[in-house]
Chains A and B, each alone.
Chain A
Amino acid sequence: EAGVVQSPRYKIIEKKQPVAFWCNPISGHNTLYWYLQNLGQGPELLIRYENEEAVDDSQLPKDRFSAERLKGVDSTLKIQPAELGDSAVYLCASSPPGKGETQYFGPGTRLLVL
């Protein structure tokens, strides 16, 4: 079974530029999560989707961050414009229906904003 797929794995951009991350969850997993992990910290939830609905986006900085999961499968997280402090690892995770306690993480996208 393929795991959670994320791309790109690495991204370097200059501040004020836009950037987008893509995630494809494990097949059959209807719940998708985007987490942010700063160096030396644990992951922090940005947004959670149940199918195509964002059910928890309370931690998403909506002035510059947006996300979508139009067909309830893959998802895109966007930052526009990026700031220096956005440099971090962006992790996507998914879980099967009714089993949110079992979250499988993708490899992450490491973002560096210069």
Chain B
Amino acid sequence: QKEVEQNSGPLSVPEGAIASLNCTYSDRGSQSFFWYRQYSGKSPELIMFIYSNGDKEDGRFTAQLNKASQYVSLLIRDSQPSDSATYLCAVMGGGSNYKLTFGKGTLLTVNP
């Protein structure tokens, strides 16, 4: 059974701070790693994905991947109240499988 684990939170940070969201996965064959944002009552929205070990930056967001430790993280710099949402970590196997396995998500609250 492939598993993706996330701390359900809630994670509460003050406005302007760095929010750090973490995720671990069980399948060493996983090749691609994703972060989705889901506002309450809305559908998931892809923020970014990462394939290679190291960091990938996109604006205020940085994804970090460590395949040896089977660990993925998302850093949100200069957090804004509009970042308050549930953040879903997902992993995908190799090839053309295209099956996303999601974690339960971490609820982030950014306080003004």
Cβ A42 vs Cβ B90 within 8 A = yes
Cβ B103 vs Cβ A107 within 8 A = no
Please give the number of chain A residues whose Cβ is less than 8 angstroms from any Cβ of chain B in the complex. 20
Given A101-B34, A101-B49, A101-B92, check contact A43 B99 (CB 8 Å). no
Smallest beta-carbon distance B85→chain A, Å: 14
Please give the number of chain B residues whose Cβ is less than 8 angstroms from any Cβ of chain A in the complex. 22
Most buried by A among B8, B100, B102: B100
Cβ B100 vs Cβ A43 within 8 A = yes
Query: Is the C-beta of A105 less than 8 angstroms from some C-beta in chain B?
Result: yes
Most buried by B among A101, A103, A104: A101
Cβ B42 vs Cβ A107 within 8 A = yes
10 contacts between A and B (CB under 8 A): A40-B105, A41-B102, A42-B105, A43-B44, A100-B92, A100-B98, A101-B49, A101-B98, A103-B46, A106-B43
Given A40-B104, A43-B100, A45-B100, 15 other A-B residues pairs in contact with their CB atoms under 8 A: A42-B88, A42-B103, A42-B104, A43-B88, A91-B44, A100-B97, A100-B98, A101-B34, A102-B49, A103-B46, A103-B98, A105-B45, A107-B42, A107-B43, A108-B43
